[in-house]
């Protein structure tokens, strides 16, 4: 049978230790001070043999609020809890707090023991039942068994044992995976050396296992295993276990450390967790955090991206494992704030609006998360510094990100594809607004567009952004700047008159149009003026630029496209056939074919062209 583990919970002096003694015959109070004061201060341990599930380990936890950290160290690992409530007193502050904590932890269920029932009359018992039922009604444990017990008379314990046995049968024991054990006790066994105890939280371990101790990165070896006085050949998850360790002195160890297999346990000050809030949470608030058997102060940072995720930055590093339960309390008041599971044991510090780093990331996922944390990306050099690797080492990763279209590079500045699209979207909106404000300005400077929406890129990085937009057909880029595709400039009267004269000069020929210099000579105006008005005509939607020297009117180009489609309708054609079909020379035929390729009227297939049907 697989080992099982249960724990107690409840208000101070509500009979938890007495109940365990009556159940098991074992006194879980092990410290002289506990026996003297009659109050559990630290964790106590016992075991119970049940008919169906076999041997069950029991962790007795303190109920006094001053020893809540010890309670958490014991509770973070139990499968089933016995919530003790004195029948003659009912629900008390620590009853409520312990119930909340159990509801936040991955505890499968609880059984309520109404202790000291011999001291209470029927009215008190009924009141206690009602109060407990009301308390648990809003938790996962609503409808759990509630059993009246008395250590004085022995009543209720057969029913309690049966209820525990049934409850433990209702869910699967143990957890698969690689083993680790949070340490809750350390001592020296005469003739054996250093011994640590705790709950084996996952997997299996056997004598001879090599392990790592965190914090500290101390390499140790498991000499022997023992559980409740019995030496074991191996142990599985949920077993209360003592490990005899070689390679470390007891003075080097303390509660809160974790011993486990390599690459499972981490030493960390910053981690992410997915939690459920039960108290008031504030961004950056100072908190007390319990993970495993460790407890440390630090700060909690919220996430606007995923509200159920928090980042904890501790004052000191602790040992931590992905998937461990975590309880968060306010440092000043010790009020319970939240509880949940560790999602990323070693996280990068982030801002409130940044996404949280998920656990188990590959290198490319880490880089993707890293650049996603920067709205306008990071340079290759900055990424390499952050990752602690060279550009050569990360070269393959960068290629993968590009190939899978997860990120893009603008002249060495990396951004996620989503960020690039959002940046481009904002740039296009800004460009549209500038066109509306300055309808007579044909081109806008890329820097002007960037400044309008707070894009910090300049030079080659900005040029690459608009070059990508041009490839997408969103903008037109030229030496004069950038404009939206389809933007029509408003011409002044003098510009309109000059453009009309130039268009008239172009339309003298159908294909063999005069060049810029020829038009300038014919109209007796400077070549620069002709060039500028032709560019304006392009923005105004009246001319089409094929080369810096060759322009056509929209009407001429429509006729050329029609002629190309007519030729393509007969099958693939060569440049010579196209030249002959248009009755022109190579001077015009080759640039025209290249232009038609660029606007996807024609498609090159080796030395031939084809056209798309119905275009």
Query: Would you put residue 272 in left (φ > 0), alpha (ψ -120 to 50) or beta?
Result: beta
The Cα–Cα gap between 558 and 496 comes to: 22
Query: Would you put residue 292 in left (φ > 0), alpha (ψ -120 to 50) or beta?
Result: left
The Cα–Cα gap between 64 and 11 comes to: 7
Give the pLDDT confidence score for residue 288 in this predicted structure: 95
Give the pLDDT confidence score for residue 283 in this predicted structure: 92
Supply the Cα-derived Rg of the chain in whole angstroms: 38
Alpha-helical regions (H) of 507-574: 516-523, 527-539, 554-568
CATH class of 266-344: mainly beta
pLDDT per residue over 292-331, tens digit each? 889 999 999 998 878 899 999 999 989 999 889 999 999 9
CATH 3.40.50.720 fits 4-169, yes or no: no
Bond before 215 cis per omega within 30 degrees: yes
Domain 180-260 superfamily per CATH: Translation factors (2.40.30.10)
Domain boundaries, the chain: 4-169, 180-260, 266-344, 361-467, 493-611
Structure tokens at 339: 């509880």
Give the pLDDT confidence score for residue 563 in this predicted structure: 93
Give the pLDDT confidence score for residue 156 in this predicted structure: 94
Q: 298 Cβ partners below 8 Å, 6+ apart?
A: 269, 286, 287, 289, 312, 313, 314, 315
Give the pLDDT confidence score for residue 265 in this predicted structure: 87
Q: Which residues pair with 313 in a beta bridge?
A: 270, 299
Q: Helix, strand or coil for residue 20?
A: helix
The Cα–Cα gap between 165 and 142 comes to: 19
Give the pLDDT confidence score for residue 36 in this predicted structure: 41
Asked if the domains 361-467 and 493-611 are classified in one and the same CATH topology, the answer is yes
Which of 144, 148, 147 has its CA nearest to residue 116?
A: 148
> Is the distance from CB of 154 to CB of 58 less than 8 angstroms?
no
* pTM exceeding the 0.75 threshold for the entire prediction: no
* Residues written for the chain: 615
Give the pLDDT confidence score for residue 352 in this predicted structure: 63
Q: Helix, strand or coil for residue 58?
A: strand
CATH number for region 361-467? 1.10.10
- Mean pLDDT, the chain cut into blocks of 10 residues (615 residues total): 81 86 75 37 72 86 53 68 93 90 90 94 95 95 95 94 92 76 89 88 91 90 89 87 91 92 83 92 94 93 87 92 91 90 78 56 74 82 68 76 87 85 90 87 87 87 88 83 83 84 90 92 90 84 88 92 92 94 94 92 92 64
Which of 353, 349, 410, 347 has its CA nearest to residue 376?
A: 410
CATH number for region 493-611? 1.10.10.10
What does the angle CA 111 – CA 83 – CA 156 come to, to the nearest 5 degrees? 60
The Cα–Cα gap between 220 and 537 comes to: 80
Q: Helix, strand or coil for residue 450?
A: helix
């Amino acid at each position: 049978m697989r080992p099982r583990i249960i724990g107690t919970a409840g208000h101070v002096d509500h009979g938890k230790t007495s109940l365990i003694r009556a159940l098991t015959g074992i006194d879980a109070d092990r410290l002289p001070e506990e026996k003297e004061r009659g109050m559990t201060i630290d964790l106590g341990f016992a075991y119970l043999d049940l008919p169906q599930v076999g041997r069950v380990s029991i962790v007795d936890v303190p109920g006094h609020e001053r020893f809540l950290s010890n309670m958490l160290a014991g509770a973070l690992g139990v499968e089933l809890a016995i919530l003790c409530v004195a029948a003659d007193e009912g629900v008390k502050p620590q009853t409520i707090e312990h119930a909340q904590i159990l509801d936040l932890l991955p505890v499968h269920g609880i059984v309520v023991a109404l202790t000291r029932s011999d001291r209470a009359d029927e009215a008190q018992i009924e009141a206690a039942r009602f109060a407990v039922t009301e308390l648990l009604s809003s938790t996962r444990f609503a409808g759990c068994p509630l059993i009246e017990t008395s250590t004085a008379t022995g009543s209720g314990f057969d029913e309690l044992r049966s209820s525990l046995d049934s409850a433990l049968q209702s869910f699967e024991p143990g957890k698969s995976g690689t083993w680790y054990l949070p340490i809750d006790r350390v001592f020296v066994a005469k003739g054996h050396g250093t011994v640590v105890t705790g709950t084996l939280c996952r997997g299996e371990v056997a004598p001879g296992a090599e392990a790592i101790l965190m914090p500290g990165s101390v390499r140790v070896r498991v000499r022997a295993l023992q559980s409740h006085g019995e030496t074991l050949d191996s142990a599985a998850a949920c077993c209360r276990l003592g490990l005899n360790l070689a390679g470390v002195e007891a003075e080097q160890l303390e509660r809160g450390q974790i011993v486990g297999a390599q690459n499972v346990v981490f030493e960390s000050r910053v981690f992410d967790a997915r939690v459920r809030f039960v108290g008031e949470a504030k961004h950056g608030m100072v908190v007390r955090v319990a993970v495993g058997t460790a407890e440390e102060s630090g700060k909690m940072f919220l996430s606007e991206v995923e509200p159920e995720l928090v980042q904890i930055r501790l004052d000191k590093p602790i040992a931590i494992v992905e998937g461990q339960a975590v309880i968060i309390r306010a440092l000043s008041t010790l009020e319970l704030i939240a509880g949940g599971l560790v999602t990323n044991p070693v996280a990068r510090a982030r801002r409130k609006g940044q996404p949280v780093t998920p656990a188990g990331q590959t290198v490319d996922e880490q880089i993707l998360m890293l650049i996603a944390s920067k709205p306008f990306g990071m340079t290759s050099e900055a990424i390499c510094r952050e990752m602690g690797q060279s550009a050569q080492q990360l070269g393959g990763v960068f290629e993968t990100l590009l190939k899978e279209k997860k990120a893009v590079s603008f002249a060495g500045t990396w951004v996620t594809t989503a960020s690039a699209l959002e940046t481009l979207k904002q740039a296009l909106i800004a460009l549209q607004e500038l066109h509306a404000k300055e309808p007579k300005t044909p081109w806008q400077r890329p820097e002007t567009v960037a400044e309008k929406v707070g894009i910090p890129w300049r030079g080659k990085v900005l040029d690459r952004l608009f070059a990508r937009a041009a490839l997408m057909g969103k903008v037109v880029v030229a030496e004069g700047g950038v404009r939206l595709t389809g933007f029509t400039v408003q011409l002044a009267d003098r510009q309109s008159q000059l453009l009309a004269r130039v268009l008239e000069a172009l339309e003298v020929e159908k294909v063999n149009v005069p060049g810029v210099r020829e038009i300038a000579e014919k109209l007796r105006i400077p070549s620069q003026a002709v060039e500028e008005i032709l560019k304006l005509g392009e923005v105004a939607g009246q001319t089409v630029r094929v080369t810096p020297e060759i322009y056509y009117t929209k009407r001429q180009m429509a006729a050329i496209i029609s002629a190309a489609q007519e030729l393509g309708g007969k099958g693939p054609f060569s440049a010579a056939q196209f030249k002959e079909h248009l009755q022109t020379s190579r001077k015009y035929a080759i640039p025209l074919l290249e232009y038609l390729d660029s606007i996807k009227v024609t498609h090159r297939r080796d030395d031939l062209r084809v056209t798309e049907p119905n275009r």
